[in-house]
Amino acid sequence: MIDIQSFSFTYKNEAEPALRDVSISVPEGGFLGIIGPAGAGKTTLARAVCGIIPHHYPGDYYGRISVGGLDPVEASLTDLSRLVGLVFQDVDSQIISTMVEDEILYGLENFGIPHAEIPERIRLALAQAGIADLQDRTVASLSGGQRQKVAIASILALRPRVLVLDEPTGELDPVSSRQVFSLLKQLRKEHGVTVIVIEQKIMLLCEFAEQLAVLDHGAVLRQGPTREVLAHAEELLALGVNCPRVTTLSRLLSRRLGRELPVCVNLEEAEETARRLMT
């Protein structure tokens, strides 16, 4: 569904490339997590996948990207936005309306969704984002977390086949963060939606993502199945990227005991490993 080949990008008037020779592919219905330190190029990659690079951000562009068969350079932003929905890292730059309902409505009207369908789309998107009760509120009266959910709902209402979420839980508490990830899982399962999430909450990300890509200085340092990437916990920690605590602990124990223990990515696996060590 998403195929990025040797992609490099340098923002206009910048000396250093923000992305260097990035090659990543995500199958239809796949779930890719992107991690890396600040300034690694994660947001730039999200912008390139949904076409706002190069359409809104000029610069030097090399390599090839294909999203659902569309080339973000050649396709119009209108066609791209029907296919790919991006939830911005900075939600306040995404939200343009004064009222919550208008924010959801705006995209639907732009897409020419038949009027008869609109109320149900709004209702469902708000319910999926867990904010059915906020429909008649002003955006200004909401907390940061509630605004984040409005931004997510406004994208969900458009029902894109590809969802790119740039740190979508930055303002959310643990319960709401998990709800967002559970919803993404459901959208994949029931509708084959392809998901890319950039996320700092690594434990949560690792529980849901099949594949991880680690970016550093604009390049892919490592990518592969989540568990394989996490096996390099020391490398991630050296970059300043958190690992799930149970993963770090299992790697540390592996080294201390001088014997290869399984890579634990959740509490159940850590418990199982601990039990085996004790018997």
Using CB distances below 5 to 8 A depending on partner kind, what does residue 38 bind out of Mg ion, ligand ADP, none? Answer: ligand ADP
94 touches Mg ion (CB under 5 A): no
169 touches ligand ADP (CB under 6 A): no
Closest CB to Mg ion: residue number = 43
Which stretch in 11-19, 77-85, 100-108, 122-130 sits in contact with ligand ADP by CB under 6 A? Answer: 11-19
**Helix, strand, coil % over all residues of the chain, rounded to 5:** 45, 20, 30
Which of 203, 186, 106 is closest to 151 using CA atoms? 106
Minimum Å gap between C-beta 91 and ligand ADP is: 15
10 touches ligand ADP (CB under 6 A): no
164 touches ligand ADP (CB under 6 A): no
Q: Hey, which residues between 71 and 90 contact Mg ion (CB under 5 A)?
A: 89
Which stretch in 37-45, 90-98, 157-165, 187-195 sits in contact with Mg ion by CB under 5 A? Answer: 37-45
Whether the CA torsion 233, 235, 239, 240 is positive or negative: it is positive
Q: Which is nearer to ligand ADP, 52 or 134 (CB)?
A: 52
Taking residues 41 to 80 in sequence order and writing x for each that binds ligand ADP by CB under 6 A, - otherwise, the string is xxxx------------x-----------------------
Question: Is residue 193 within 8 Å of residue 251, measured between CB atoms?
Answer: no
H or E element, residue 45 = helix 42-49
Using CB distances below 5 to 8 A depending on partner kind, what does residue 57 bind out of ligand ADP, Mg ion, none? Answer: ligand ADP
Whether the CA torsion 97, 101, 107, 111 is positive or negative: it is negative
201 touches ligand ADP (CB under 6 A): no
Q: What is the largest CA-CA distance in the chain?
A: 65
Compute the residue count for the chain: 279
- Cα–Cα dist 132/134, whole Å: 6
Residue type, 252: L
Contacts of 148 (CB under 8 A, 6+ apart): 91, 168, 169, 170, 171, 172
The site for ligand ADP (CB under 6 A) is made up of 11, 14, 18, 36, 38-44, 57
